Amino acid sequence: MRYQVAVIGGGPAGYTAAVAAAKAGMSVVLFERQSVGGVCLNEGCIPTKTLLYSAKTLDAARQAQKYGIGVDNVSADLVRIQARKQKVVRKLVLGIKSMLSAAGVQLVTGEAHIEGPNTVTCGGQTYEADNLLLCTGSQTVMPPLPGLDTVDCWTHREALQCTSAPQSLCIVGGGVIGMEFASFFCSLGTKVTVIEMAEEVLPGLDAELCALLRDGYARKGVDFLTGTRVTALRPMSDGGVEADYERQDGTGKLRAEKLLVCVGRRPVTQGWGLENLHLRLTDRGNIIVDRQLRTSQPNVYAVGDLNGVSMLAHTAVREAEVAVASMAGKDEYMSYRAIPSVVYTNPEIAGVGQTESALQKRGTAYRALKLPMTFSGRFVAENEGQTGLCKLLIGSDNRLLGAHVLGNPASEIITLAAMAMEAGLTVDQWKRVVFPHPTVGEIFREVLS
């Protein structure tokens, strides 16, 4: 069987590329060993956001009185919350399958193995392809913590499936996954402790906003041990876990019913014949790609988490589009200038572009403009008792270098700043855009005025 494009991996990158290539008139085969949608849809972005929405609804019901609404007997049923999550995932998986089939993509369920730059085998069949698009994603990193192999430990996968909230939870890694699960289990009444090696949670996002987010969760009862290393883990007789830790001011012990480890992900580069392509790799072992996502083999492209550049589903989708455009002979190039990051805590935190600390490290001149989110009337109307913060970083050319938001719905409004950045708008050009009133997005105009 011969195709113009063979796509390996059916996550957001893979299915986007497959549909785009098929719509461009190419013959496409897509290999997926599990369920289309990848980690994002089956055990990542979508299921977590579904759980977090239930938690947010619970928080809102508990706070309904602040808005003049009486709600009695508020409770959470984790079994039903999980059932709804499964329903959402099933619905979206079916949607992707029908989109692939409508576009005429040949979907092969099974583990693909690369034999060479034009040859893939799967289930005893051989498939030839003019172009290979590799998007096998990433897998959870398990750190070498002493005693980790002796304790019962959750990764995000088990945390996502849990049908009864533990009394107490120790989360190792205060990154994106750690903070989103801290938020979820805190809403459900679990006593959460986050152990983070760095000096602040969510390294990579604006440190001032992260500190405010952390303070907010600390007030809700989450304990944070930042600048802290786990030195030993051991099982307790009641099935829980005991952790020894050390930090600058000394050592300590922590006991919890459950342990969740989330210290990052790494590209999946082994077990599927990637070595047969002899691709050029970075010092860290990531596949080197050019701005069209082409590897050192001209007909082989690597997109999404696999190339290790950005490790976000939305980046993967755009990379997939660029790679397919390149196969079709178009002059499109990937831009990483304005890729938003969002953490779906409650409140959400989001950022795009540079942070102050990155600018300072590089010695780039900038001015920081910031306002509490309460300068947006809509924010005040809908976020009783919340303050939030919006920060814009402006370069010497009067263009946006970075935008950072703490407050709902940061995930939705950050795109406004990303568009201004990607389009290279000056502050004056951005201010001339008319924003609907009242919207939370108007905060950007307020900050600039």
Which CA distances in Å does 229 have to 44, 112, 117, 172? 26, 39, 44, 9
Stretch that binds ligand NAD, among 4-12, 61-69, 120-128, 172-180 (CB under 6 A): 172-180
258 is a contact residue toward ligand NAD (CB under 6 A): no
Give the tokens for residue 112.
């693909």
306 is a contact residue toward ligand NAD (CB under 6 A): no
Stretch that binds ligand NAD, among 16-24, 28-36, 256-264, 286-294 (CB under 6 A): 256-264
Q: How far is the CB of 416 from ligand NAD (least distance, A)?
A: 18
Q: 134, 225 in Cβ contact below 8 A?
A: no
Closer to ligand NAD by Cβ: residue 122 or 311: 311
Stretch that binds ligand NAD, among 90-98, 117-125, 260-268, 425-433 (CB under 6 A): 260-268
Interstrand relation of 258-261 and 265-267 (parallel, antiparallel or unpaired): unpaired
**Residues 183-212 contacting ligand NAD, CB under 6 A:** 195-198, 203
Among 306, 311, 316, 405, binds ligand NAD (CB under 6 A): 311
* Number of amino acids touching ligand NAD (CB under 6 A): 24
Q: Could you count the other beta carbons within 10 Å of the beta carbon of residue 87?
A: 11
**Interior/surface letters 115-133, b for 16+ CB within 10 angstroms, e for the rest:** eebbbbbbeeeebebebbb
Phi, psi of 341 (to 5 degrees): -115, 135
Stretch that binds ligand NAD, among 258-266, 329-337, 348-356, 379-387 (CB under 6 A): 258-266
Q: 126, 114 in Cβ contact below 8 A?
A: no
Closer to ligand NAD by Cβ: residue 78 or 198: 198
**Residues 373-432 contacting ligand NAD, CB under 6 A:** none
120 is a contact residue toward ligand NAD (CB under 6 A): no
Phi, psi of 198 (to 5 degrees): -75, 170
Among 123, 143, 189, 239, binds ligand NAD (CB under 6 A): 143
Whether 437 is a known active-site residue: answer: yes
343 is a contact residue toward ligand NAD (CB under 6 A): yes
Stretch that binds ligand NAD, among 171-179, 329-337, 350-358, 364-372 (CB under 6 A): 171-179
Q: How far is the CB of 45 from ligand NAD (least distance, A)?
A: 6
CA distance 379 to 359: 29
Closer to ligand NAD by Cβ: residue 112 or 289: 289
178 is a contact residue toward ligand NAD (CB under 6 A): yes
Q: 12, 36 in Cβ contact below 8 A?
A: no
Tell me which long-range contacts 207-212 makes (C-beta under 8 A, separation of at least 24): 207/355, 207/356, 207/357, 208/356, 208/389, 208/391, 209/349, 209/351, 209/389, 209/391, 209/404, 209/405, 209/406, 210/349, 212/389, 212/406
Closer to ligand NAD by Cβ: residue 117 or 173: 173
Closer to ligand NAD by Cβ: residue 48 or 383: 48
47 is a contact residue toward ligand NAD (CB under 6 A): no
13 is a contact residue toward ligand NAD (CB under 6 A): no
Residue nearest to ligand NAD (CB): 175
Non-local CB neighbours of 353 within 8 Å, separated by 6+ positions: 337, 338, 393, 400, 401, 402, 403, 417, 421
Residue type, 334: M
Q: How far is the CB of 23 from ligand NAD (least distance, A)?
A: 27
CA distance 212 to 168: 23
18 is a contact residue toward ligand NAD (CB under 6 A): no
Among 6, 18, 41, 176, binds ligand NAD (CB under 6 A): 176
Q: 422, 315 in Cβ contact below 8 A?
A: no
Q: How far is the CB of 123 from ligand NAD (least distance, A)?
A: 30
Q: How far is the CB of 448 from ligand NAD (least distance, A)?
A: 27
182 is a contact residue toward ligand NAD (CB under 6 A): no
Can you give the binding site for ligand NAD, defined by CB under 6 A?
A: 143, 172-178, 180, 195-198, 203, 230, 262-265, 311-312, 342-344
Catalytic residues: 437
